[in-house]
Amino acid sequence: MLLNFMSESSQIYASKTGISKLAIMALAIVFTAGLFVVGFDQGHIFSLVYGDQAFEDLYIHELTHDMRHASGFPCH
């Protein structure tokens, strides 16, 4: 009886409710895409739709310009 109690109390339980690797991958992709949009896009994303005109309009650059300077990204 005492031996049985000691063997149960010494077991190590691994948590099965941790964050899944799929969720970590999805968040990493969202983070990388967001970092690119906020910090580095110079018309690349809109150029998929608007073509070369997007590199002259720089809509996302203008939208995130002050945030880039405030957070220290190289802007221009």
Q: Which is nearer to Zn ion, 45 or 58 (CB)?
A: 58
φ, ψ at 13 (rounded to 5°) = -100, 130
Which residues of this protein are in contact with Zn ion, per CB under 5 A?
A: 75-76
The answer to whether 41 and 60 are in contact (CB under 8 A) is: yes
Q: How far is the CB of 61 from Zn ion (least distance, A)?
A: 8
Q: Which is nearer to Zn ion, 37 or 75 (CB)?
A: 75
User: Residue 60 CB: number of other CB atoms within 10 A?
Assistant: 19
Q: Which is nearer to Zn ion, 51 or 59 (CB)?
A: 59
